[in-house]
Homo-oligomer: A and B are copies of this chain.
Amino acid sequence: MAPNLNNKKAVLFIIDGLGDLPPTPLQNANLPNFDKLASGGITGLMSTIDRGITPGSDVSHLQIFGYDPHGFYPGRGPLEALGLGIELKEGDIAFRANFATVNPKFEILDRRAGRIDTNSAKSLEKEVNMKIDAIEVLFKSSVEHRGALVLRGKNLSHEISDTDPHGSGSVLNSKSLTKSSSAKKTAEILNKFTKEVYKKLNGNSLNKKRTEQKLPPANIVLLRGAGQFKTVPTIQEKFGISVACVAGGALYKGIAKYVGMNVVAVPGATATKDTNLKAKGQAVLQALKSHDLVFLHVKACDSFGHDGNFEGKKAMLERIDRELLPVLMNSGAYVIITGDHSTPCIRKNHSGHEVPILIYGKGERSDSVQKFDEISCMNGGLGHIKGKDLMNIIIDIIERGKMYGS
């Protein structure tokens, strides 16, 4: 990695689910600092993947970081597992996992085991870690009923179906999705796991107590989003710069780890509306001391979009404007602000509409746009860019790009 001689640094701030449909929260909120950045900088619109394409957050972040998801998307499981701090090895199969409640016929009575509290769930972890045939089963719980599970051993495959029925019904038998012997074997392991983990969890004293208390016992683990982990070239190797991540959500920390960023631990960064933005701002300043680029992520705007909560999304943007932007503006770093996709409140879901983007910093070009929103940025000097362009633009701004040709 070439040394940073010019000391130009950047913050890439991704506001999850930022874009919306009119009248949009960005249009309606009082955002003096966003507007100051838009006035002093250059703006535009970005489609993370391509025009009209609705991306998930995993795929869109990978693309923004320069990893074409068509080749580099490992599935959701490995990204969540990495985000929970599980150290994955080449070939591991990882899943999103959650505790649920079933009866002895494996019919689901509660998909979230009554939203079991985080500490109780943590105490059940030991029952889920086990060995089946020669395969290690590693499990880590996160918040409430959620967690990640990893299968480690030889000849495993991610081409198997979920045991989670994604709704009501019974725990599903995992099936091989191909004719490969490794997929067949992996599905068998999973089905043995379902029986084994029920036996262990159902007999656990905490669950017996929950049953006595008329609380749903967390007596099964449902699995979904299988993916096989393999190492990829790091973002440092690809772009020749050092990158840190300041995020609260496990998925985002997982993506950052997957691409080789240094993930900074930030107390109070929760990926919810109550996240400690001031702590995140301080973490960014700290990380800028030893990194060329800091990826900063705030999740709550997307969650408000999914809930159809316009006022919540608007208030969150105003909090970001107040509590986070002054720190970034005074950091001396170039500031790039955008979203990973639109989550229009009226849709309560992601959409393919472009997200606004702004780039602010000393000596860069500026356009005539004065406000940061979906409509104003239509007139921005960046025009319409794609997610795949963004890392190259950032690298160029901080003068760390390599010349193509001579």
Contacts and interface: CB of A to CB of B under 8 A. Distances in A.
Interface in A355-386: 363-367, 374-375, 378-381, 383-386
A385 B45 CA distance: 13
A48 to B, nearest CB: 9
A22 B363 contact: yes
A242 B386 CA distance: 30
Interface stretch (A50-58, A210-218, A288-296): A50-58
Given A351-B396, A381-B375, A393-B51, A363 B21 contact: yes
Nearest to A395: B52
B406 A352 contact: no
B54 A396 contact: yes
Interface residues of A, number: 55
A56 B399 contact: no
Contact of A52 (B352, B353, B389): B389
A396 B52 contact: yes
Nearest to A77: B406
A47 to B, nearest CB: 9
A191 interface: no
A84 interface: no
A60 interface: yes
A56 B384 contact: no
Interface in A36-52: 45, 49-52
Contact of A403 (B50, B54, B396, B402): B54
B389 A51 contact: yes
A53 B389 CA distance: 9
A109 interface: no
A327 interface: no
A366 B22 contact: yes
Interface in A279-323: none
Contacts of A56: 403-406
Nearest to A369: B378
Nearest to A57: B405
A402 B366 contact: no
Contacts of A52: 389-396, 401
Contacts of A379: 379
Contacts of A391: 52
Contacts of A352: 392-393, 396, 401
Given A22-B365, A363-B346, A396-B351, A402 B58 contact: no
A73 B404 CA distance: 11
A363 B351 CA distance: 13
A57 B76 CA distance: 42
Nearest to A380: B378
A200 interface: no
A140 interface: no
A216 B385 CA distance: 53
Most central of A55, A57, A390, A403 by chain B CB within 10 Å? A403
B363 A404 contact: no
Given A56-B403, A404-B53, A375 B365 contact: yes
A59 interface: yes
B399 A347 contact: yes
A225 interface: yes
A14 B231 CA distance: 44
A45 B380 CA distance: 13
A350 interface: yes
A405 B73 contact: yes
A69 interface: yes
Please give me the 10 A-B residue pairs with the lowest Cβ-Cβ distance, nearest first: A59-B405, A56-B405, A52-B392, A352-B396, A378-B381, A52-B393, A51-B389, A383-B384, A56-B406, A52-B396
10 contacts: A21-B363, A22-B363, A50-B389, A51-B386, A51-B393, A52-B391, A52-B392, A52-B396, A54-B396, A350-B403
